[in-house]
Structure 1
Amino acid sequence: MVEGRGIGRRGRVALMGLALVAVIAGCAGSSSTEDPSGVLDPGDDPVVLAPEPLEGRAWTLISYVHDGQDEDVPEGIEITALFEADEGKVGVGSLSGSGGCNQYGGSYVADDGAISLGHLAWTEMACAPEIMVQEMAFLGVISSVTKYATTTTHLTLTDATGSESATFQR
């Protein structure tokens, strides 16, 4: 090779081959896609998804079941739940939120879809009677949950019978 003339024909062919391999590798991604609802469509590829984390997210209640009846959250009322793991631990920590009028809190232990809430305590501010009734119903419902499931947008709590008890969204 003559100095100052570049890499020569063989070098150019090798570089073009490497570039082609890089382009092909970049196009060979997974056939999985995520639709706007946040649900993964794995196509033909088997995909195992880890559950979305329970902790570190503010969840807002959208519905719950009380005495066998589906209940929607009254307009203008925000009922929330925030699970925060103890330092250095996953699945063990504190639960806090708003019941619609009062603040509540307690402890929780969660592992592989199972959840147990410790004793819940709450403030005792006076609110409109219908809000107080709804708040006590909600606190009773979440006190008895035994399972949870999360997606990118929703948290569902279920009771010991497997019945859906409460649904939250992010």
Structure 2
Amino acid sequence: MRIVAVLLLVVLAGCGARTQAQEAPAPDPLRGTTFVAMAVTEDGKPRQLAPRTELTVEFTDDGRLIARAGCNIMQGQVDTGDGTLTVDGGLSMTEMGCDPARHDQDEFVAGVLSANPTWELTDGRLTIRSGTTVFDMAAEDAMPRDLQGTTWVLDTLIDGDVASSTAAGAPEVTLVFDGKKVTADTHCNGYTAEYVIEGDTITFTPGASTLMACAPEIMAGETAVADALRDEVTFEVTADRLTFTHPSGKGIGLHAQ
């Protein structure tokens, strides 16, 4: 009788363990993934993003949502349960100065993500919906970009907490990295530098350059490149965006051509 009782306890304990395992919550499929907006619609009509910007939403392994819409960074702890994005305590946002188009875009995105939108993940495509506004997003891993082998176009000048767009009508400034040297076509003196990558930093050794004076809108782009790509700087590649930040606070933002 005692043996039967012990066996019964073992069976019941095993059933309890299986029940607890069955009731364990499923892992969050969004964590550890960054999504890039393929399309944004309002009332069923496309909403164009500000020129030379993109919208990304990152779900970190420690449960944060980090959104970038072209200027400031928004983030907060997020609960993805029941197919809803609930940002606990609201989104915090950096306070970098931007042009009106990107400032308005930041406010628009923050409003959508703060409104407890619903989400649905199907075959790597994430749909975020708030009322009649829809973000159609794809996993960033599905659209990688390499520093080398891509032509990068300058679109943002960064000076400390202030980011501004390149001058309207100015010729495009492009950067090409060949694995050892970066060449910038600035439509004036040009710029070249040898570089070495280590982790998320690059050390640049600028080459010789002419000192020709050009139109102010052209010199602005050339000066920004020269100020950012010197010494040791940090860089970040996100989908089709590339950002360099020098310890001085000078920096540049580029998009893939």
Aligned to 2:252: 166
Cα displacement string for residues 11-66 of structure 1 (whole angstroms, at most 9, x for unaligned residues): xxxxxxxxxxxxxxxxxxx998864158587859xx99597421111101111223
Separation (CA, whole Å) in 1 of partners of 2:201 and 2:189: 27
Q: Provide closer, same or farther for how the CA distance between residues 67 and 122 of structure 1 changes in structure 2, counting only shifts above 3 A.
A: farther
Separation (CA, whole Å) in 2 of partners of 1:52 and 1:73: 23
Aligned to 2:177: 83
Question: 1:103, CA displacement in angstroms?
Answer: 1.8
- TM-score normalised by L of structure 1: 0.59
Question: 1:104, CA displacement in angstroms?
Answer: 1.3
Letter of the 1:63 counterpart: T
Aligned to 1:65: 158
Query: Once superposed, what is the RMSD of the aligned Cα atoms?
Result: 3.8
Separation (CA, whole Å) in 2 of partners of 1:84 and 1:124: 25
Aligned to 1:107: 194
Cα displacement string for residues 80-116 of structure 1 (whole angstroms, at most 9, x for unaligned residues): 211111xxxxxxx010012342221110111321111
Separation (CA, whole Å) in 1 of partners of 2:140 and 2:210: 42
Letter of the 1:119 counterpart: P
Separation (CA, whole Å) in 2 of partners of 1:40 and 1:68: 21
Aligned to 1:149: 236
Separation (CA, whole Å) in 2 of partners of 1:125 and 1:136: 12
Aligned to 1:13: none
C-alpha contact 2:232 2:246 (8 A) present in aligned 1: yes
Of all paired residues, the percent bearing the same amino acid is: 24
C-alpha contact 1:155 1:167 (8 A) present in aligned 2: yes
C-alpha contact 2:36 2:57 (8 A) present in aligned 1: yes
More strand by share: 2
Question: 1:152, CA displacement in angstroms?
Answer: 2.1
- TM-score normalised by L of structure 2: 0.41
User: 1:54 is matched with which residue: 115, 123, 147?
Assistant: 147
C-alpha contact 2:224 2:251 (8 A) present in aligned 1: no
C-alpha contact 1:66 1:141 (8 A) present in aligned 2: no
Separation (CA, whole Å) in 1 of partners of 2:167 and 2:187: 9
C-alpha contact 1:141 1:165 (8 A) present in aligned 2: yes
Letter of the 2:252 counterpart: A
Q: For CA contacts below 8 A with separation 6 or more, give which structure has more relative contact order.
A: 1
Secondary structure, counterpart of 1:138 in structure 2: helix
Cα displacement string for residues 142-168 of structure 1 (whole angstroms, at most 9, x for unaligned residues): 22551111122100112237x571110
